[in-house]
Amino acid sequence: MASTRDLIRRYGEVGTNEPRHDKIQIVQELEAQLDPQGIAFLAAIIATENEYDLARIEALKAVQIAGFDGDLDRSVVAEAIIEAVADPDLLVQQWACIAASSFVDLPGVHAKIASTLRDASADLDVRHNCLFALERLGPHSDNLALLRSLAHDPEIGIHVRRVLEAWKARQP
């Protein structure tokens, strides 16, 4: 198995004339052996707007399900996710919001997801993914207030009401 350092070097060597799917393979190899250097590199891929979009999405998938030993690793990834939520690439935005579900407990991520959910001009799928991320965090007071304010939103209100009802049903 190649070292993290070797994988990062290989990723950088993939040229524009070569099949870019090689980058996805390298991201998958990095995911199999995540360490702080690999996590930081995946975060850099996620945050780089002109990077190959499918490699960025693969990196978002990797960090969403990765186990993290410390808050430092999580905060590096969280900052990258915050940037990717505002990315011009719609698929990257959607996957960033999905990945955010594992980081929404961090204040910066929560604020970005909440503001994107409130944004009526945001893509509907992006807003749905934001709702999922907040649903995963649960019915704390900030989430309750936000979702109640969106309960009659013409695009997403029905889904918001379902989440609120589910939370209400789980209360003792």
CATH number, residue 31:
1.25.10.10
Cα 120 off chain centre by: 20
Residue 18 is part of which domain span? 4-170
Q: What is the pLDDT of residues 64-113, one digit of tens each?
A: 988 776 656 789 999 999 999 999 999 999 999 999 999 999 889 999 99
Residue pair 118/146 in contact by the 8 Å Cβ criterion:
yes
Pinpoint the alpha helices (H) of 14-156.
Answer: 21-31, 36-47, 53-65, 71-85, 90-100, 107-118, 124-137, 141-149
Residue with the two structure tokens 């996710």: 81
By the 10 Å C-beta count (0-12 exposed, 13-18 middle, 19+ buried), 29 is classed as middle
Express each pLDDT in 130-140 by its tens digit.
999 999 999 98
Q: Do residues 114 and 145 make contact, with C-beta atoms less than 8 angstroms apart?
A: no
pTM: 0.91
Structure tokens at 53: 């979009």
CA distance 140 to 137: 8
- pLDDT recorded at residue 70: 65
Mean pLDDT value across residues 23-32: 94
Number of domains in the chain: 1
Model confidence at 29, pLDDT cuts 50, 70, 90, reads very high
- Of the chain, the percentage scoring pLDDT greater than 70 comes to 94
Q: What type of residue is 37?
A: Q
